[in-house]
Structure 1
């Protein structure tokens, strides 16, 4: 792997060079290596085949443009499994990389487990993993990518630009090209946080991640589940172009999800919840505002004639107005009507 370098030293030496040098040129290591060719910090979980089961482990943090060995050699020439999620530092909701093989994970912290037949009874959650056919016992590499199709160098540069923006420092376009605005933004961030010019790029990315996370906690719209059951949640609001509704956020018992990770504008916000109660579904008892919801993940403009657009109408409840451009809404057992006859 590439050694830590000083951002300012690199920038001073290369001036107008558009990307950082040589992670891609590092000699590949033995084992199953994961390479992050995205502009996001990602956390990876991976499944390794054993004699009769799959051992799942997480989380392996990969900075933009970074490669790490997930499984040491010798490798079993069999299908391995991979799921990854973006860091909570990034705005716009979580990004996920996965597939169709459902395995259990612990979303709250590091874990190693032999995949159980059911996740929920053990306090775990199911995620769709991508099956990766490993055919070498010595060395195998799997890339995590995004639509821009960055190489490792460009991914690292774009990741830096993205984190600067999310930490509140304007750095220009997120394109993987380090120009004057990005260099100025780096210098401004180092100065604001009393960081030395010798700060390595890895340390700078880690520091930016923490600043972006803290900044994100103080804004936006968060949904929390204070019941003992799973809740499927959605929100609605009046946006710049009119009414809109979005969902679903699956809230496990005691869990939270950030539906909007930017400072809130306006005062009218609404929530919808479907709580699983055995085989039945309970909805909010004091809900009277109609919006559209989808059968799968959705973002819907408008609130009229839902069924004509292959959606369905659901009754949302108004929230209290945001305070200092942020809002936390908590679902409690008392908020839901008694179980009816509907199955989800």
Structure 2
């Protein structure tokens, strides 16, 4: 019986360690031959925010947010530094040309920022998600606000 208790205690410790070491992040993988710049938009307990820029090399990956995801929807805008063009969508958020963290998505130009169309990523309420950028770029025309 003592041997069984020791095995059980070891198994419980191993399971607890595995749960702590499990990865739960928002990652973006650049599946192109170009360097890209990535901006991220999201809603947290303090409201809407946008952040940028992560620079990701050709065929590289980067963690945008560490830890379990707290929202179902995240928003991405990316720029192809080498070949030109961008990946975007209809969800308008604020950006700027230099590194930024911007709170709020309204009145971007009045506040001195660029108004930029992001595409929506539905993580299906998973705690870990990887976004992949491929060669086909999208238009940034539109004007819908994220909900």
Q: TM-score, normalised by structure 2?
A: 0.76
| DSSP 3-state at the match of 1:325 | coil
Cα-to-partner distance string for 1:260-298 (whole Å, 9 max, x where unaligned): 1011112121111001234xx31126x111001122111
Q: Which has the higher strand share?
A: 2
Matched, 1:282 2:103: no
Return closer, same or farther for 1:252/1:292 CA change in 2, 3 Å cut-off. same
Residue of 75, 93, 96 corresponding to 1:294: 96
Ranges of 4+ aligned residues in structure 1 off by more than 6 Å: none
Gaps of 5+ in 2: 1-11, 140-147
Return closer, same or farther for 1:269/1:256 CA change in 2, 3 Å cut-off. same
Contact persistence 2:72–2:125 (CA under 8 A): no
1:322, distance to aligned residue in structure 2 (A): 4.1
- The CA RMSD over aligned residues, in Å, is 2.3
Structure with max Cα Rg: 1
Cα-to-partner distance string for 1:313-342 (whole Å, 9 max, x where unaligned): 1100001224531111000002x149xxxx
Give me the whole-angstrom Cα distance separating, in 2, the residues matched to 1:237 and 1:337: 20
Contact persistence 2:94–2:113 (CA under 8 A): yes
Give me the whole-angstrom Cα distance separating, in 2, the residues matched to 1:277 and 1:337: 16
| DSSP 3-state at the match of 2:43 | strand
Q: TM-score, normalised by structure 1?
A: 0.34
For residue 228 of structure 1, what is the aligned residue in structure 2?
A: 33
Cα-to-partner distance string for 1:211-252 (whole Å, 9 max, x where unaligned): 97x43xx21210110000011001111111111111111010
| DSSP 3-state at the match of 1:277 | coil
For residue 91 of structure 1, what is the aligned residue in structure 2?
A: none
Matched, 1:321 2:120: no
Structure ranking higher on relative contact order (CA contacts 8 Å, 6+ apart): 2
Q: How does 1:240-255 map to 2 (within 5 A)?
A: 240-255=45-60
| DSSP 3-state at the match of 1:192 | helix
How many residue pairs get aligned? The number is 125
For residue 311 of structure 1, what is the aligned residue in structure 2?
A: 113
| DSSP 3-state at the match of 2:94 | strand
Cα-to-partner distance string for 1:43-101 (whole Å, 9 max, x where unaligned): xxxxxxxxxxxxxxxxxxxxxxxxxxxxxxxxxxxxxxxxxxxxxxxxxxxxxxxxxxx
Contact persistence 2:71–2:125 (CA under 8 A): no
Q: How does 1:1-344 map to 2 (within 5 A)?
A: 192=13, 214-215=21-22, 218-278=23-83, 281-284=84-87, 287-334=89-136, 336-337=137-138
Return closer, same or farther for 1:250/1:322 CA change in 2, 3 Å cut-off. farther
| DSSP 3-state at the match of 1:229 | coil
Cα-to-partner distance string for 1:139-175 (whole Å, 9 max, x where unaligned): xxxxxxxxxxxxxxxxxxxxxxxxxxxxxxxxxxxxx
